[in-house]
Amino acid sequence: MTQVQVDKNALQKLSQEYRSIASRLLRSNSDDGDANLARFTDFIDRNPVIRNFVEQEFQSAGIESDPELERDESGRWALPLSPDGEFVFVYALFRAALSDDLGHDYTSIARGYDSQSGNQDRNIEAFHRAVVLPFAQRIEHHIVNLLREAAGSDDQKISITVSDGSIYVAGNMQGSNAAAKAAAISDSTASYSDSQTLAQKVEELYKFLDEIPAENRDDAKEAIEVLISSASGQDIDKPELAKRVDFLGRVSPKMREHLASLLVNVSGSVTSHLLIQTIMFIFGTPG
Amino acid sequence: MAHHTRFMSIPTDDSSFGSFNCPFCRERFKLAASEVQDSLVIVIFCPICGMNDERGRFISTDAIDAAHIVGRNLGREIVNDLLKDFGKGFKNAKNVRFTRGRPLKMEPERTLIESIDLELQQLSCCDKSVKVRVLDQATGIYCPYCGIYQ
């Protein structure tokens, strides 16, 4: 178990970033449902505060293995009546939808929610309202509760205990190093508002170079140089920057995590820096 | 194909606030017409659930229903006008006769009324305001313009 300190501003940012990803999933249709669901679950699994909540829900629901994903007579998912049971069921459903168990087909998991119209996108909309929104709101309510708690404390901070364990779903352990991620969030609670700090933070990407395949290393190095130039004020156009950010995010999950962390405590004029805006654009967070 | 446009206005209450509905949670809230019409406002955050979408997706269900009636009536008007002189084209034709039936009947259009309800809350983050239910005020809301939890 690891104790991490999170301040009010970091929780505000987390809430905004989380709602941006959740809204994107809620706006999905049959074309982009899979990709947006992957983004959403990835965000949940990467963030120690949210992961911790998911783990708590698993414990409180008394679930140790995969819940049975069954449909009722009307073809809708047979969601458990208890709020934590429902939460765990939907989380398992999302993970199964992204694995081979449910065939990577967002349209099929949303099936049965608007049988009258026969329109796939309406069906997905009804599924979002009945299944996805309550799940997404339960996480948001947790973040808001932490936010209130932090706002009520003298130093506007709260300590959260993050377990080093993992969420057990779909027969495997999801991302086991929560403590390292927690430490990352603890380090990133100090806000920054100048482009010099932004450039320094971008430079930290170099430390992940060894962890990416050798054939991508030169391109990654070049991409980091472009990002540092942009952070230092050089005029780099947005498509070029977007290409480099996207590349780094694809070749290294740790670089992606680091780039996303740049958005967490940014403040002042740096918020509108082209690099920050580009990272937001690529990773789907609001401006 | 010709394009036909018809404008309709959405009324506001006595303090110039108009109703909106969240496309996700469907809750109703009100925003000041002058503030929400600002061209910089592209995305709106629902003050109740905090999710966001394009401004146009928050148009109230009443206004959308009223617009559908206006649209259907416009279609009927076009068909009626088209058929008015349709028979003239067959005046000298030996084998074709055209007799115009009754014109399509128009649906009564709905008059939108903005009720005077919901509580005003000032948003210090964006120096704007929103109207929500007292209950929502008590549990905390999100700024519809920047998404910050109040």
| Of A26 and A285, more confident | A26
Nearest to B49 by CA among B118, B140, B145, B111: B140
Please give the pLDDT value at position A53: 92
Mutation target among B27, B45, B49 for the A interface, most CBs of A within 10 A: B49
| Cα–Cα distance, A26 to A36 (Å, whole number) | 9
ipTM over 0.85: no
Interior CA angle at A109 toward A104 and A115, to 5°? Answer: 140
Which residue do the tokens 């997706």 mark? B57
Identify which of B45, B53, B148 has the shortest CB distance to residue A12. Answer: B148
pLDDT over 70 at A1, yes or no: no
Q: Do A27 and B50 touch (CB under 8 A)?
A: no
Tell me which chain A residues have a C-beta less than 8 angstroms from the C-beta of B45.
19
Please give the pLDDT value at position A186: 39
| Of A105 and A31, more confident | A31
| Mean pLDDT of chain A, nearest integer | 81
Give the pLDDT mean for A79-98.
91
Mutation target among B51, B58, B124, B139 for the A interface, most CBs of A within 10 A: B51
Please give the pLDDT value at position B77: 92
Give the pLDDT mean for A193-204.
84
Chain A: residue whose CA lies nearest to B54: A27
Token pair listed for A35: 């990709």
> What letter does residue A168 receive in the DSSP assignment?
E
CA B102 to each of CA B84, B91, B96: distance values in angstroms, whole numbers, following the listed order: 10, 19, 19
Q: DSSP per residue over A244-274, as a string?
A: HHHHHHHH-HHHHHHHHHTTTSB-GGGGG-H
Q: Do A19 and B45 touch (CB under 8 A)?
A: yes
Interface contact A130, partner B, CB < 8 A: no
Please give the pLDDT value at position A190: 54
Chain B residues interacting with chain A (CB cutoff of 8 angstroms): 24-26, 43, 45, 49-53, 140, 142, 147-149
Identify which of A12, A129, A286 has the shortest CB distance to residue B149. Answer: A12
Please give the pLDDT value at position A164: 55
pLDDT over 70 at A167, yes or no: no
Interface contact A26, partner B, CB < 8 A: yes
Give the pLDDT mean for B111-128.
92
pLDDT over 90 at A199, yes or no: no
Position A137, amino acid: Q
Q: Do B24 and A19 touch (CB under 8 A)?
A: no
Identify which of B49, B51, B149 has the shortest CB distance to residue A147. Answer: B149
Q: Do B149 and A137 touch (CB under 8 A)?
A: no
Give the pLDDT mean for B8-35.
94
Give the pLDDT mean for B13-41.
93
Interface contact A23, partner B, CB < 8 A: yes
pLDDT over 90 at A209, yes or no: no
Report whether A267 contacts A193 (CB < 8 A).
Answer: yes
pLDDT over 60 at B147, yes or no: yes
| Of A171 and B113, more confident | B113
- Least Cα separation, residue B51 to chain A (angstroms): 5
Q: Do B140 and A286 touch (CB under 8 A)?
A: no
Please give the pLDDT value at position A191: 65
Stretch among A107-116, A229-238, A259-268 having the lowest mean pLDDT: A259-268
Report whether A201 contacts A270 (CB < 8 A).
Answer: no
| Of A277 and A101, more confident | A277
- pLDDT band, very low/low/confident/very high, at A66 (cuts 50, 70, 90): confident
Nearest to A91 by CA among A55, A48, A49: A55
Size of interface A-B (CB pairs under 8 A): 41
Q: What percent of chain A has pLDDT over 90?
A: 27
Give the pLDDT mean for A5-31.
92
pLDDT digit string (tens) for B29-86?
A: 999 999 998 878 889 999 999 999 999 999 999 999 999 999 999 999 999 988 888 8
Which residue do the tokens 């496309």 mark? B23
Identify which of B26, B140, B147 has the shortest CB distance to residue A19. Answer: B147
Please give the pLDDT value at position A176: 35
| Of B149 and B91, more confident | B149
| Of A225 and B89, more confident | A225
Please give the pLDDT value at position B101: 86
Please give the pLDDT value at position A36: 94
> What letter does residue A130 receive in the DSSP assignment?
I
Q: Using only the alpha carbons of chain A, give its radius of gyration.
A: 20
Please give the pLDDT value at position A285: 53
pLDDT digit string (tens) for A96-140?
A: 888 876 666 888 888 888 877 778 888 899 999 999 999 999 999
